[in-house]
Structure 1
């Protein structure tokens, strides 16, 4: 069985229609998304839109979303992680890396290291084969450096992957950290990073990223991890302007 996966931080829906157009054309089996938002947290021009529901409805496939935080005065305003799949979602589980919170207003960069973080695990039936499809968004700091809090969180993630006890999984994430860091090394110990089967060196979109001028050649922070059940057929980063990150597109063989 072959599965096409797209991992994408959707930039709070900034380019929502372009994103939907891209995903429709690609028709992936699995989409893992970060910065999924609703309400006034959106960067999309319509604050009434729930970006998860918008994409899910446009593609006509199954999905699950888990907010990491909401706004106190507007529960429809949230940010979280989501998966969309061309399969039957049997159940979902949330693993909290940093506890859920409600904010009086939209949190910005100064909140980055302390913002809530979680992992969404959806058990999906792909034609009789059960696969854990996971998504996460790693803790952020201005520079991608190891910190005690990031290491605490990644240990929880690694422990959870180990707890699956040999069941097949695919994990997509914007980890906000690069290969060679201790954080990424902890995940590398328990899963295969598909990006290592490529020459990809950057997953940020330097045409749209607001910090492009100081990012040089970019950063490699978005990854697709798998259990040993999968081999990488292909992996690349389509050069499309659907976010401030580039999509990571992979075809895996089970």
Structure 2
């Protein structure tokens, strides 16, 4: 089974992103920062946050569904806010997407909020609502069931330091993984956690029986050249049975986001 996990950056590099996922065709694709704007069929609208105005890929989820027609697609919004078509406001949802190839039976799912709750009346103040989604699939090649849970960790404008909110978030994420998996399953937790490698978040998951593969694999970071701020780590991949992993990589080329894809094979 091939798994790819990525913060898609709201589809800012949508063409490169779509080409990459079509070429890789992973069995399971876990994506954070996905837009879904069912009220508009436009490819791009404008995101406004105070004085900031940015072009925004409006329908990344739709475009990914077209790019991966042989995958079951799941979208879980964390919030609904507004994008703009010139002077017209368009309701748009922002959250997680998970794609599972139809050859893999989906045996179970979990979804829950790890910080705050769904915001229906705007994206909200930072730190904004965050959710997590998990799928339990059967890999008939290995004869094994695999529980995969991913999240987009809260963003704090003050930085990536440990906070009580991040501690609570990590414990909620671990509980969701516990709820999804069955004894003997390979368990995987991944996503853009928005924390440093020495964070309490990763320690909580380690205490829960998980090994983190980015830092233990000696990778230099998970950010592409599009990310200009200090700090090169944000994304992590953890497993509870590392001996079952046949390959793990941080993909630095091609660049399809300001984050790097994490690719794992079992």
Same fold judged by TM-score > 0.5? yes
Q: Give, in whole Å, the separation in 1 of the partners of 2:246 and 2:200.
A: 24
Question: Across the two proteins, how many residue pairs are aligned to each other?
Answer: 239
Root mean square deviation of aligned Cα? 2.8
**Contact between 2:79 and 2:122, CA under 8 Å: does it hold in 1?**
no
Q: Give, in whole Å, the separation in 1 of the partners of 2:255 and 2:94.
A: 21
Q: Give, in whole Å, the separation in 2 of the partners of 1:22 and 1:72.
A: 28
Q: Give, in whole Å, the separation in 2 of the partners of 1:85 and 1:76.
A: 27
Q: What is the match of residue 53 of structure 2?
A: none
**Contact between 1:169 and 1:226, CA under 8 Å: does it hold in 2?**
yes
Question: Does 15-24 or 52-61 show the bigger shift?
Answer: 52-61
Choose which of 132, 148, 157 in structure 2 pairs with 1:119: 132
**TM (normalized to structure 2)?**
0.79
CA shift, 1:92, in A, is 2.3
SS of the aligned residue for 1:112 comes to coil
Determine which structure has the larger helix proportion and give its number.
Answer: 1
SS of the aligned residue for 1:102 comes to coil
Gaps of 5+ in 1: none
Q: What is the match of residue 80 of structure 1?
A: 95
**TM (normalized to structure 1)?**
0.82
Gaps of 5+ in 2: 46-55, 84-88
Q: With CA pairs under 8 Å and 6+ residues apart, which has the higher RCO, 1 or 2?
A: 1
**Contact between 1:194 and 1:232, CA under 8 Å: does it hold in 2?**
no
SS of the aligned residue for 2:218 comes to coil
Q: Note the 1:143-154 alignment, pairs <5 A.
A: 143-154=159-170
Choose which of 250, 262, 265 in structure 2 pairs with 1:236: 250
CA shift, 1:195, in A, is 1.6
Q: Note the 1:84-103 alignment, pairs <5 A.
A: 84-86=99-101, 87-102=104-119
Q: What is the match of residue 36 of structure 1?
A: 34
Once the two structures are superposed, residues 191-224 of structure 1 have per-residue CA deviations (whole angstroms, 9 ceiling, x without a partner) of: 1212244221211122x23xx0x42xx4211111
Greater C-alpha radius of gyration: 2
Q: Give, in whole Å, the separation in 2 of the partners of 1:233 and 1:33.
A: 20
SS of the aligned residue for 1:94 comes to strand
**Contact between 1:83 and 1:134, CA under 8 Å: does it hold in 2?**
no
Once the two structures are superposed, residues 143-199 of structure 1 have per-residue CA deviations (whole angstroms, 9 ceiling, x without a partner) of: 210011111111122233344353322222000002111122111222121224422
